[in-house]
Amino acid sequence: MIPLSKLSRLPRSLRLRKAEKILAEAERRLLAPGQESRPFAETAPGRSGLFSPGELAYLEDLLELLGGDKDFSPAERGALGQSRAALGVAGGAPGALRDGSALRRALNTARHILLAAAGRCPADWDFTDPQGRLDPAKRRPFPGMGVYLEDIRSPFNVGAMFRSAESFGAEKLWLSPLCADPRHPRAERTAMGCVDVLPWERLGEDPFPEKSGPAALSPEIGGFSGGPFFALETGGIAIGEFPFPRTAVMIVGSEELGVSPAALAVADASLGRVSIPSYGAKGSLNVSAAFAIAMQKWAEERAKTIARNPPYFLRRGR
pLDDT digits (tens, 9 = 90+) for 150-175: 999 999 999 999 999 999 999 999 99
pLDDT value for 111 = 92
What is the value of pTM for the model shown? 0.73
pLDDT value for 239 = 97
Average pLDDT of 184-190? 93
pLDDT value for 204 = 86
- pLDDT of 43 above 90: no
pLDDT value for 223 = 57
pLDDT value for 77 = 93
Element (H, E) at 249: strand 248-252
- pLDDT of 19 above 50: yes
Strand spans (E) along 46-162: 145-149
Average pLDDT of 39-67? 70
| 145, β-bridge pairs | 248
pLDDT value for 306 = 79
Given pLDDT bands bounded at 50, 70 and 90, which one contains residue 41?
very low
**Of 132 and 54, the one with more pLDDT:** 54
**Of 213 and 64, the one with more pLDDT:** 64
Q: Which distant-in-sequence residues (6+ apart) come within 8 Å of 21 by Cβ? A: none
Least confident window among 50-59, 145-154, 231-240: 50-59
Query: What's the mean pLDDT when you consider all of the chain?
Result: 83
Q: Hey, what domains does the chain have and what are their CATH numbers? A: 4-126 (1.20.120), 136-308 (3.40.1280.10)
pLDDT digits (tens, 9 = 90+) for 271-304: 999 999 999 888 889 999 999 999 999 999 999 8
Report CA-CA distances (Å) from 232 to 16, 237, 316: 46, 10, 38
- In three-state secondary structure terms, 254 is strand
271 touches 247 (CB < 8 A)? no
pLDDT digits (tens, 9 = 90+) for 49-58: 467 788 888 9
Give the separation between CA 157 and CA 163, rounded to whole angstroms: 10
Report CA-CA distances (Å) from 200 to 107, 127, 137, 187, 254: 38, 25, 16, 14, 18
Given pLDDT bands bounded at 50, 70 and 90, which one contains residue 137?
confident
- pLDDT of 305 above 50: yes
Alpha carbon 291 to its chain centroid, in Å, reads 13
Least confident window among 47-61, 102-116, 178-192: 47-61
Given pLDDT bands bounded at 50, 70 and 90, which one contains residue 311?
low
pLDDT digits (tens, 9 = 90+) for 171-186: 999 999 999 999 999 9
